[in-house]
Amino acid sequence: MHEMSLAGGILRMVEHAAAREHFARVARLSLEAGALAGVEVRALRFALEAMAPGTVLEGAAIEIDEPPGIAWCMRCCDSVAIGARSDPCPRCGGWQLTPTGGTDLKVRELIVHDA
């Protein structure tokens, strides 16, 4: 449900970039939504597509990279891949995990046209 506010935040960031960099439209919007970022990627894409018409994002391809969740396992003393915050360590089955990667929701890059 909060994906709508996040999409609004992304659109605002893109529009600020458009004002700063003087471009007319976006050909491709590249996002990063980590597996542990708390974002439902399908809902985010839907929200962005719903907001795009009439904005610089109209017609833009939306690319969302979903890096896997990485956590530090205190028992294994190593980084392990996890799918969700409620997952155990895939190696030792323990729960002493601190997420270290795949927690970000970022706008990485825009491919833009000046006209």
Partner 1 sequence: MCVVCGCSNPGASATAPGHGHAHSHGHGHDHVPAQAHAPADLDFGANAARVSVPGMSAERAIKLEADVLGANDRIARANRAHFEAHGVAAYNLVSSPGSGKTTLLVATIDALRRARPALPLAVIEGDQQTSRDADRIRATGAPAIQVNTGKGCHLDAPMVAAAFERLPLRGHGHDHGHAHDPGHDDALSLLFIENVGNLVCPAMWDLGERAKVAILSVTEGDDKPLKYPDMFAAARLMVLTKTDLLPHVDFDVARCIEAAQRVNPGIEVLLLSAKTGQGMDAWLDWLLADAARDARPRDETAALKARVAELEARLAQREAAA
Q: Which amino acid is at 77?
A: C
Total chain residues near partner 1 (CB under 8 A): 45
Residue 65's closest CA among 100, 37, 25? 37
Determine if 105 is a binding residue for partner 1 (CB under 8 A). Answer: yes
C-alpha distances out from residue 19 to 15, 29, 48, 76, 97, Å: 6, 16, 19, 49, 42
9-48: which residues touch partner 1 (CB under 8 A)?
9-10, 12-13, 16-17, 21-23, 25, 27-28, 31, 38, 45
Note whether 107 binds partner 1 by CB under 8 A.
Answer: yes
The answer to whether residue 50 forms part of the interface with partner 1 (CB under 8 A) is no
Q: What is the nearest approach in angstroms of partner 1 to the Cβ of residue 91?
A: 16
Angstrom distance (rounded) from CA 15 to CA 10: 9
Q: Do residues 42 and 4 touch, judged by C-beta distance below 8 A?
A: no
Q: Does 111 bind partner 1 (CB under 8 A)?
A: yes
Least Cα distance to 107 among 43, 46, 5, 28 occurs for 28
The residues binding partner 1 (CB under 8 A) are 1-2, 5-6, 9-10, 12-13, 16-17, 21-23, 25, 27-28, 31, 38, 45, 49, 59, 61-64, 84-86, 88, 95-97, 99, 104-115
